[in-house]
Structure 1
Amino acid sequence: MKPGSKLKSAVCDTEVMVIRCGEGTIECGGAPMGDAKPETPDTLSPDHSGGTLMGKRYVDANGTFELLCVKPGKGSLAVSGVALSIKDAKPLPASD
């Protein structure tokens, strides 16, 4: 997987674009994401049903992974079972 790749969830409508990636499996709703959406969706895990928001960037604690949500869904994003969080916006410098 490389930056610019588009991944689709196997359990919901979520689609993400990879901005930065490292070693690990990108998951949504408790199931690995792939290049294509499966014919029959898997079951959404209740532990991973926090949802994704359109246009938000999701990162891991180390900053190794960064994903941009291009289509929202019911599943939450994780890497190898570790949940990703929404990236905070950088504060703008004060203009005096």
Structure 2
Amino acid sequence: MSATELKDLFDRVQSWPKAAQDEFVSLANAIESALRDHQHVASYAELQISEAAITSIEVAPDAGPGAHEVNIIESMERLVAEKQKPAKESGSDA
């Protein structure tokens, strides 16, 4: 968006009702805050899944390009599926 487009938008906003202007400012502040503070904090479950995936990846020494990526995706999908099973299904009869 160019400076001219922004100026035109702000000029139009000045003619809006006060409630709409307040909402516009609130949304702009929320967007700015999200951009400034954008940091994902992994949950405990996400960290467990990631750690299990990393430790379970087995790659053959002669794996070609892209093989690591396939193994990682397969491992993550398997671990997520296992996490989503009810407790009685995830017994130790593997």
TM-score category (smaller protein): under 0.3
Considering fraction of residues, name the structure with more strand: 1
| Greater length-normalized contact order (CA 8 Å, ≥ 6 residues apart) | 1
Considering fraction of residues, name the structure with more helix: 2
